[in-house]
């Protein structure tokens, strides 16, 4: 079974986890075979015991011999369990970590404005439930192989006593295996529906937490709760079908053992009367039928689980976008013990910015078809360039395409005359820093939100906050840099959010600063102070999306956009004189 992209088959994903930690997997296999061998010993011991009691025991066996063998089987079983645990858990954790690392790495390599194809809640469900399935199946393969070996051994021992009774007793298990095989299509159908519904619920929960303030302001608590109940009811209905169907199959598997025991009872009665079947033989049959039952149960379970793994692989491939099929199971080091590897930050470019230019950039949003056409810009080092235009004119899209946050459909980008082929990897600190239209903060301290793991002292953080015109706000916070900002920065005002995002840029000391409507929530005086401090350093180069007059007045160069194209470009004075669209924007008529 292959993923939705026709790429990675489920069996290859399973094999990949085995090949990642083959030693652990093989040791787990050996532990389970060792365990099963000693688990089977009581069957033979019970036969010898009942034969001893009934007077049919072979010469040389006595009660103490059987007690010694039973003790050995218990010790062997305990050692087998310890070996299985010692190999099972490390294999499971290593494999899940690899899959999650590869998923996250691919998400981080995707264009930043299109990182997730579905909601964050849906993505989390894939990191949890779907990742869990693959290494679990790899370990269950060991259970199956040891179970098959014990089942074959059990059938061989029973057949050596009475082939006919063995054959008739095993028939219910064969029937159950066939039923399981025929039920695979339904299993897959119910699992797809169940996972989809669960992801929908998880995604809605994430949206509720993210929009708690908006819900409260709109007094929409009841309607949101009603919607949550509705989608949760959908999830309950499909999950119930999935669980009920699996429980029915499990019941069928387990009851096959009871049916087999009943058949043995009926057939053994006559054989016991004819003295061709001993009480010990009956004890052995009833004990080993459990092993046959476990084998058929596992075969059916793994057939069902394999279908479900196909669903999980499809979901993970969707999350990875257009990644090559093998990326999900690509090997790399996972650090689960000892010191974490040191983070290496990019060093400052040996080619400092002299001029940034772009020509012919194009991109269209798949859902609306709107976007930008033939966008171009030319930025000199130390300059302040503003992109302006009406709402929906393509300003933010142009920025994102330039920075590689959206995949460009055409055009070229040049840094000091050299073409930039991978802008998403190129325009990063300390070369370039970017603040989006809606800054993203984490539910952490102010310090951690600014540094995001960067190794800088508090003096550098405070200087970055000063440049962002936030030193007075910092003094008003009870715990200073240790103050918690709340989920998505909910404890801060809109203007404070924007200035914290600006401080995050400043602490990285990048050559090119890119702001998307940074000062929209600032008062005029704070905005004036912010731009003054941005240009305290002569080397500062800014590219800004804004419609605010303080930014436009300070700009060396203004680009006016209209309906996805550059309408005009030049100084503010030139545009106010020669561009009707700029005059409308300046007067506020364009909105």
Q: Which residue is listed with tokens 């194809």?
A: 117
Task: Measure the CA–CA gap between 284 and 45, rounded to whole angstroms.
Answer: 9
The full set of domain ranges for the chain reads 10-329, 355-587
| CB proximity list for 253: less than 8 A, separation 6 or greater | 176, 180, 293, 296, 297, 300, 301
- 327: its two tokens: 């990326």
pTM (predicted TM-score): 0.71
DSSP state of 337: S
DSSP state of 211: T
> Mutual orientation of helices 22-54 and 131-161 as an angle, nearest 10°?
30
- 246: its two tokens: 């699996």
Question: Are 470 and 496 a contacting pair, CB within 8 Å?
Answer: yes
| CB proximity list for 188: less than 8 A, separation 6 or greater | 307, 308, 310, 311
Question: Rounded to an integer, what is the distance from CA 127 to the centroid of its chain?
Answer: 3
- In 324-479, beta strands by DSSP E: 355-364, 371-380, 384-389, 410-415, 418-419, 432-435
Helix extents (H) in 110-161: 120-125, 131-161
Selected from 2.30.30.90, 3.40.50.300, 3.30.70.260, 3.40.50.1970, the CATH number assigned to the domain covering 355-587 reads: 3.40.50.300
Question: Thinking of the domain 10-329, which architecture would CATH place it in?
Answer: Up-down Bundle (1.20)
The tens place of each residue's pLDDT in the chain, 591 residues long, gives: 444 445 788 899 999 999 999 999 999 999 999 988 888 888 888 877 777 776 555 545 566 777 777 788 888 888 888 999 999 999 999 999 999 999 988 888 777 666 677 777 778 878 888 898 899 999 999 988 888 888 888 888 888 888 888 887 777 777 776 776 676 667 667 777 787 787 778 778 877 876 777 787 788 888 888 888 988 888 888 888 878 877 776 676 666 666 766 777 777 777 776 677 788 888 888 788 778 777 777 776 777 678 778 888 988 988 888 888 889 999 988 988 888 787 777 777 667 889 999 999 999 988 888 999 999 999 999 999 999 999 989 999 999 999 998 989 999 999 999 999 989 888 988 889 998 888 888 889 999 999 988 888 999 999 999 999 999 988 888 899 999 988 778 888 888 898 999 999 999 988 999 999 877 778 888 888 888 888 877 667 999 999 888 889 989 999 999 999 999 999 999 999 999 999 999 987 554
| CB proximity list for 298: less than 8 A, separation 6 or greater | 140, 143, 144, 147, 148
Task: Measure the CA–CA gap between 388 and 497, rounded to whole angstroms.
Answer: 22
Q: How many residues would you count in the chain?
A: 591
Q: Which residue is listed with tokens 């179970």?
A: 147
Sign of CA dihedral 172, 173, 178, 182: positive
Q: Do the domains spanning 10-329 and 355-587 agree at the CATH topology level?
A: no
């Amino acid at each position: 079974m292959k993923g939705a992209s026709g790429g990675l088959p489920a069996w290859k994903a399973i094999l990949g986890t085995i090949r990642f930690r083959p030693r652990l997997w093989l040791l787990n296999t050996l532990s389970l075979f060792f365990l099963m061998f000693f688990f089977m010993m009581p069957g033979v011991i019970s036969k010898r015991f009942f034969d001893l009691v009934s007077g049919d025991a072979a010469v040389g066996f006595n009660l103490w011999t059987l007690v010694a063998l039973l003790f050995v089987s218990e010790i062997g079983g305990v050692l087998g369990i310890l070996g299985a645990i010692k190999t099972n858990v490390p294999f499971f954790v290593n494999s899940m970590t690899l899959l999650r690392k590869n998923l996250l790495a691919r998400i981080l390599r995707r264009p930043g404005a299109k990182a997730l194809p579905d909601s964050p809640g849906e993505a989390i469900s894939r990191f949890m439930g779907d990742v869990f399935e693959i290494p679990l199946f790899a370990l269950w393969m060991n259970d199956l192989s040891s179970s098959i070996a014990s089942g074959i051994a059990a059938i061989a021992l029973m057949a050596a006593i009475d082939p006919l009774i063995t054959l008739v007793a095993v028939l219910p298990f064969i029937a159950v295996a066939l039923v399981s095989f025929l039920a695979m299509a339904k299993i897959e159908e119910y699992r797809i529906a169940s996972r989809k519904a669960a992801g929908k619920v998880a995604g809605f929960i994430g949206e509720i937490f993210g929009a708690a303030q908006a819900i409260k302001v709109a007094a929409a608590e009841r309607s949101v709760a009603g919607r949550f109940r509705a989608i949760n009811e959908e999830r309950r209905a499909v999950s119930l079908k999935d669980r009920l169907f699996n429980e029915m199959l499990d019941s069928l598997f387990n009851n096959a053992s009871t049916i087999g025991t009943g058949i043995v009872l009926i057939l053994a009665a006559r054989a016991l009367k004819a003295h061709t079947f001993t009480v010990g033989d009956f004890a052995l049959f009833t004990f080993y039928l459990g092993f046959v039952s476990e084998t058929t149960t596992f075969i059916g379970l793994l057939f069902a689980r394999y279908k479900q793994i196909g669903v999980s692989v499809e979901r993970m491939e969707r999350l990875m976008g257009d990644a090559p099929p093998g990326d999900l199971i690509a090997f790399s080091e996972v650090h689960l013990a000892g010191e974490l590897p040191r983070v290496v930050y990019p060093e400052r470019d040996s080619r400092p910015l002299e001029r940034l230019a772009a020509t012919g950039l194009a991109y269209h949003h798949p859902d609306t078809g709107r976007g930008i056409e033939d966008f171009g810009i030319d930025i000199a080092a130390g300059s302040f360039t503003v992109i302006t235009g009406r709402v929906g004119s393509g300003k933010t899209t142009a920025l994102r395409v330039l920075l590689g946050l959206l995949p460009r459909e055409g055009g070229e980008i040049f840094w000091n005359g050299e073409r930039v082929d991978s802008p998403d990897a190129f325009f990063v600190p300390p070369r370039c820093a970017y603040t989006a239209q809606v800054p993203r903060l984490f539910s952490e301290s102010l310090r951690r939100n600014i540094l995001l793991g960067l190794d800088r002292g508090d003096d550098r953080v405070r200087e970055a906050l000063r440049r962002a015109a936030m030193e007075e706000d910092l003094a008003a916070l009870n715990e200073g840099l240790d103050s918690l900002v709340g989920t998505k920065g909910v404890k801060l005002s809109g203007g404070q959010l924007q200035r914290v995002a600006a401080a995050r840029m400043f602490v990285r000391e990048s050559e090119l600063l890119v702001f998307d409507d940074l000062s929209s929530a600032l008062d005029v005086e704070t905005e004036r102070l912010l731009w003054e401090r941005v240009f305290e350093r002569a080397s500062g180069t800014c590219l800004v999306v804004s419609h605010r007059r303080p930014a436009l007045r300070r700009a060396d160069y203004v680009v006016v956009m209209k309906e996805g194209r550059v309408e005009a470009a030049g100084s503010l004075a030139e545009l106010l004189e020669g561009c009707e669209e700029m005059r409308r924007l300046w007067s506020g008529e364009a909105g």
